[in-house]
Amino acid sequence: MNTGEKEHAELADVFNKDEARVDWHDETLWWIRAKRDRSVHQLPEWEDLRETASKIKFNVLSNLSGYLEQFEAQAKANGVTVHWAADAKEHNEIVHRLISEQGVTQMVKSKSMLTEECHLNEYLAEHGIEVIDSDLGERIVQLAKEPPSHIVLPCIHKKKEEIGDLFHKYLGTPSNMSDPQFLTETARQHLRETFLTRKVALTGVNFAVAETGEFVVCTNEGNADMGAHLANIHIACMGIEKLIPQRKHLGVFLRLLTRSATGQPITTYSSHFKKPREGQQMHIVLVDNGRSVQLGREDFRNSLKCIRCGACMNTCPVYRRSGGHSYHNAVAGPIGSILAPNLDMRQYADLPFASTLCGSCSNVCPVKIDIHDQLYKWRQVLVKEGYAPTVKKIGMQVMTTTLNSPGIYRTAGKLGRIVMRLAPFAVNNGLNPWYKHRDMPTPPKESFGEWYKKNRK
Amino acid sequence: MRVGLFIPCYVDQFYPNAAIATLQLLEKLGCEVVYPQNQTCCGQPMANSGFEHLTHGCNELFIKNFDGFDYIVAPSGSCVLHVREHLHDEHDEAKAVDIRHKVYELTTFLTDILKVESLPARFPHKVGMHQSCHGQRGLKLSSMSELVAPAFSKPGSLLAMVKDIELIELNRVDECCGFGGTFCVAEEAVSSKMGKDRVADHLQHGAEYITGVDMSCLMHMEGILKRQGSNVKVMHIAEILNGVEN
Ligand code: SF4
C-alpha cells in the first residue's frame, strides 16, 4: 500500500478521527473473536491441537529443503509444472509469462495474500493484464482501489452502505442499496460472467502436502474452485512455508484454521488439487521472498509457522482500533508486524512498536507462535540496527542516567513532583502527548521512599 | 521470612499509598519486610522500547539491592515480569537467576507462598477488576479468555475474601487498557481510545472503583476518568486487601 512515509501511529491517528467508525470496527472484529472463543471451547482437545500443529510446523521448518524437494518431485510426477521464485519480482514475471503464453489479457484470481505481498495485480496491470479478484471481499476492495485491510476479511473496514455505493458506481445497482443479500447476488452474477470467460485462473494455497504433491485451497465461497475448474490453466502460488509433511496432518490444520479465523467448525470448501484434468495445465509457483532469510533468524523463525488465519488480528486491541491499513503492509496486525521488518527494516521499523505486548495474539494463535515475544525482540534488533528516532534515543539516555543513580533519581523525582504541583502548566500542555487525552496523576507531597524513612527503622 | 519490598519507580513517586498498603499488608501477614532504599527502577521502560542494552545499570542496582532476601515482592505484575524474564548479571549470572526466581507479584505471593485464606479487610463498594496483561498473560495470575482451560484468578480469589465488596462483571474480561509503557505516548490515539473503552466497560456496569495489580494501567485509566470528570476512582488491589478505605 502506498501510504508515503507515514508510520503506524500517524495512520492510526487519522483512523481515530472518526470515533464512531473505530467503535464499529472494534465491535465487528470483537464479535468474530467472541465467536471464535465459543467455537474453540467446544473442543476439549483444543490446546493439544495447537501444540500438535506447532510441532508439525516445527518439523517442517527444520527440514524445509527436504520437504520442498519431496513436494516438487511428487507434484511433477502428478503432471504439475513446478516453478521457483526467489522473490516477488520473479514470481510476478513467472505468472505474467504463463498468462502471455496463453495469448490472453485477462485472469481470474481467488484470494491470495502472497500475490498481495508481491503486488501482482499492479504488476500485471502495468503489463496490460486485467485481473479480477473473485473473493467477494477482495473484489470489493479492488473496486474501491484499496488493498485488503485483513488477510481473511479483506473489506472488514467497509460498511455495507459503502459497498452499496461501490456497486452502484461499478456494477450498476440502484443507489442507496445496502441489503447484503441483494449485494451478494449482484456480485454473484457479475463474477459468474468472469468465471465463464477466463482462460487463466490463479489461486493461493493453504496447505501443500509433501507426501502427495497435492495442495489444498480453503474458501467459503467456492470461488477458487469455479475459477480453477473452468480455466484452461490453473496457476497456484504459495510461500515455501505452506508445506505440511503428510496428508494425515491436514486433519489438525483444517480443524484449527477456520475455528481460529471465523469461529466456523470448518471452511465451506476445502478443495484438494493434485493433478491437472485432461487438456488442462496446472502450475505451482513456490515463492521464497524473504522466507529463507527469516528462517535464518533464530528468534523470528517461528513466525513462518503462520497459517494465515487472522485470529491474531481479530484479537489485537490495537488492530481493532487502528485498522488494517495503518500497518502499511500486505499482512497487517501482530503477525504482519513480525514478518514485515524481515523484508525491509527501515520501512517497517515502526510496526513492532504498534503493540502493547498484551500477549493475546500469542494465546490465540493456532500454531502457538510467540508473537508478542517476537515483537519485543524486533524492537531490540531495530534499535541496535539504528532505526530508532533520535529524540527517543536521547530520551532513553536521559532516563537511563537518572535511573542508574539513586541520588539523581530521588532528586529528579522530587523536583518533578514539585513542578507538577506548583507549576502544572509546565507539564499539562499540548506538547505532552499524555495530557492531550488524559489528566496527569496528582503528585503526592512525599514519595514512598521519603515516607519509609520517616516511618520505619 | 525476609521479604525485600520492590516498589516500582512511578509507584514510589506518584502512588505511595499503594506501596504503603503493600508494606502494611505483608507485615500484617507476618513477613519481615525491608525496603532497600537505593532502588530505582527495574529497567522495563528502556527494554520495552527496544533499549534493553541500556538496562545494565538498572540490573546491577537491582541485584545489589535485592541480593540475599528469601523473597522479593512488588505490587506490580509488569515490573515483576520484566525482572523474571530479563534480569541478567554479566559477572554472576547465577545470582541474577536466583533473584529472577525469588521475585513475586504481590497477589501471587499471597496466594502461592503465604497461602492466605482469609483477610480482615472490608470494602463496601462496587469494584471492577482490571486484569493487567503482563500479570495475567505473562505471570499467569488468572485464566485467559483465549485459552481452553479452567477458570481461576489469584487476585479475584483474594478480593473474594474482602467483606461487603461487590465485584462487577465486565463485557470483556481481559481486554488490554492500552497503557503499554511508552506505547501510551508513542501511539497516543490508539492508547487513549483503548483506555476510554476499557473505562466505559467498568462504568457501564456500575463500578465505583477500578482496581488491579498494576498501578500503571490504573494511572492511565485514572487519567481518562479524571478527564471525563468522573467520580469513579482507581485503587491498587493492595489498598483494598489491606482494608484501608480512602
Ligand atoms: S500468526 Fe497465528 S493467529 Fe496470526 S494469522 Fe498466523 S496463524 Fe493465525
Which ligand 1 atom sits nearest the alpha carbon of residue A338? 1
Residues B109 and B130 in one domain: no
B140 in contact with chain A, both atoms CB, cutoff 8 A: no
Residue A182 to chain B, least CA–CA distance (Å): 33
A440 in contact with chain B, both atoms CB, cutoff 8 A: yes
Helix locations, A212-303, DSSP H: 223-230, 250-261, 291-296
pLDDT value at position B244?
56
Residues A72 and A179 in one domain: yes
The pTM score is 0.95
Residues A35 and A154 in one domain: no
Which among B87, B113, B139 is the end of a domain? B113
Q: Do B12 and A447 touch (CB under 8 A)?
A: yes
pLDDT value at position A419?
77
* CA separation for the pair A178, A30 (Å, rounded): 23
* CA separation for the pair B219, B228 (Å, rounded): 14
Q: Flag whether B168 is in a domain.
A: yes
A237 lines ligand 1 (CB under 6 A): no
A365 lines ligand 1 (CB under 6 A): yes
Residues A386 and A286 in one domain: no
pLDDT value at position A426?
67
Residue bearing cell 515502526: A350
Closest partner residue to A439 (CB to CB) among B46, B52, B223 is B223
The answer, yes or no, to whether residue A422 has pLDDT greater than 80, is no
Q: What is the mean pLDDT of residues A260-278?
A: 95
pLDDT value at position A342?
97
Query: Which CATH number does the domain housing residue A202 bear?
Result: 3.40.50.10420
The answer, yes or no, to whether residue A1 has pLDDT greater than 60, is no
Q: Flag whether B119 is in a domain.
A: no
Residue contacts between A and B (CB atoms, under 8 Å): 207
CB contact at 8 A, B41 and B9: yes
Q: Flag whether A24 is in a domain.
A: yes
Residue A383 to chain B, least CA–CA distance (Å): 6
Q: Flag whether A305 is in a domain.
A: no
What is the domain count for chain B?
2
Which among B83, B113, B143 is the end of a domain? B113
A8 lines ligand 1 (CB under 6 A): no
Name B2's bridge partners: B32
A348 in contact with chain B, both atoms CB, cutoff 8 A: no
Residues A209 and A148 in one domain: yes
Q: Flag whether B59 is in a domain.
A: yes
Q: Flag whether B121 is in a domain.
A: no
Closest partner residue to A12 (CB to CB) among B55, B190, B219 is B190
Q: Flag whether A368 is in a domain.
A: yes
Residues A242 and A330 in one domain: no
Alpha carbon nearest to ligand 1 atom 2, residue: A365
- For residue A292, the SS3 value is helix
Q: What is the pLDDT of residues A61-109, one digit of tens each?
A: 999 999 999 999 999 999 999 999 999 999 999 999 999 999 999 999 9
Note which residues in 45-64 of chain A have CB less than 8 A from chain B: 46-47
pLDDT value at position A416?
83
Residues A11 and A68 in one domain: no
Residues B130 and B231 in one domain: yes
Distances (CA, A) of A24 to A16, A27, A69, B164, B200: 12, 5, 47, 37, 15
A377 in contact with chain B, both atoms CB, cutoff 8 A: no
Residues A251 and A193 in one domain: yes
Q: Nearest residue of B to residue A383 by CA position?
A: B50
**Chain B residues closer than 8 Å to A436 by CB:** 188, 192
Which ligand 1 atom sits nearest the alpha carbon of residue A313? 4
CB contact at 8 A, B54 and A396: yes
Helix axis angle, B56-66 to B93-102, nearest 10°: 70
* CA separation for the pair A390, A386 (Å, rounded): 9
Per-residue pLDDT of chain B (246 residues; tens, 9 = 90+): 999 999 999 999 999 999 999 999 999 999 999 999 999 999 999 999 999 999 999 999 999 999 999 999 999 999 999 999 999 998 999 999 999 999 999 999 999 999 999 999 999 999 999 999 999 999 999 999 999 999 999 999 999 999 999 999 999 999 999 999 999 999 999 999 999 999 999 999 999 999 999 999 999 999 999 999 999 999 999 999 998 554
Residues B107 and B153 in one domain: no
pLDDT value at position B229?
95
∠ Cα A84 A88 A89 (to 5°) = 90
Alpha carbon nearest to ligand 1 atom 6, residue: A306
Q: What is the pLDDT of residues A383-421, one digit of tens each?
A: 999 999 888 899 899 989 999 999 998 888 888 888 777
B12 in contact with chain A, both atoms CB, cutoff 8 A: yes
Closest partner residue to A37 (CB to CB) among B54, B145, B226 is B145
Residues B16 and B91 in one domain: yes
pLDDT value at position A4?
56
The answer, yes or no, to whether residue A428 has pLDDT greater than 90, is no
CB contact at 8 A, B123 and B243: yes
Return the amino acid letter for A195: F
- With a cut of 0.85, is the ipTM above it? yes
Q: Flag whether A383 is in a domain.
A: yes
- Lowest mean pLDDT across A111-115, A191-195, B124-128, B234-238: A191-195
Q: Flag whether B214 is in a domain.
A: yes
Give the range of the structural domain holding residue A68, as residue numbers without chain letter.
Answer: 43-292
Element (H, E) at B129: strand B126-130
Q: Flag whether A337 is in a domain.
A: yes
Residues A271 and A323 in one domain: no
B16 in contact with chain A, both atoms CB, cutoff 8 A: yes
Instruction: For strands B2-5 and B71-74, give the pairing.
Output: parallel
Which among A292, A318, A351 is the end of a domain? A292
Q: Nearest residue of A to residue B46 by CA position?
A: A396
Residues A329 and A411 in one domain: no
The answer, yes or no, to whether residue A329 has pLDDT greater than 70, is yes
The answer, yes or no, to whether residue A2 has pLDDT greater than 70, is no
Which among B113, B141, B175 is the end of a domain? B113
**Cell, residue B84:** 523474571
Residues B80 and B139 in one domain: no
Q: Flag whether B118 is in a domain.
A: no
What is the domain count for chain A?
3
Q: Flag whether B145 is in a domain.
A: yes
Nearest to A373 by CA among A396, A355, A386: A355
Query: Which CATH number does the domain housing residue B223 bear?
Result: 3.40.50
Residues B94 and B148 in one domain: no
Sequence-separated (6 or more) residues with CB below 8 Å from residue B127 = B159, B165, B166, B167, B168, B207, B208, B209, B210, B211, B240
Residues B145 and B230 in one domain: yes
A229 or A82: which leads in pLDDT: A82
Residues A268 and A280 in one domain: yes
Residues B150 and B179 in one domain: yes
Residues A120 and A237 in one domain: yes
Torsion of CA A52, A58, A60, A66, to 10 degrees: -140
Which among A381, A400, A419 is the end of a domain? A400
CA of A308 to the centre of ligand 1 (A): 5
Q: Do B46 and A380 touch (CB under 8 A)?
A: no
* CA separation for the pair B243, A447 (Å, rounded): 21
Q: Do B13 and A360 touch (CB under 8 A)?
A: no
Instruction: For strands A106-109 and A130-133, give the pairing.
Output: parallel
A308 lines ligand 1 (CB under 6 A): yes
Mean of per-residue pLDDT scores for chain A? 94
Q: Flag whether B120 is in a domain.
A: no
Q: How far is CA A363 from the centre of its chain?
A: 17
B187 in contact with chain A, both atoms CB, cutoff 8 A: yes
Q: Nearest residue of A to residue B18 by CA position?
A: A448
Q: What is the mean pLDDT of residues A225-253?
A: 95
Q: How would DSSP label each residue in A91-140?
A: HHHHHHHHHHHTT-SEEEE---HHHHHTTHHHHHHHTT-EEEE-SHHHHH
Give the range of the structural domain holding residue B132, as residue numbers without chain letter.
Answer: 126-241
**Chain B residues closer than 8 Å to A354 by CB:** 187, 190
CB contact at 8 A, A358 and B132: no
**Chain A residues closer than 8 Å to B49 by CB:** 353, 379, 383, 392, 396
Q: What is the pLDDT of residues A295-322, one digit of tens each?
A: 999 999 999 999 999 999 999 999 999 9
pLDDT value at position B246?
44
Residue A27 to chain B, least CA–CA distance (Å): 11
Residues B68 and B159 in one domain: no
Residues B212 and B236 in one domain: yes
According to DSSP, residue B4 is labeled E
- pLDDT-derived band at A208 (thresholds 50, 70, 90) equals very high
B144 in contact with chain A, both atoms CB, cutoff 8 A: yes
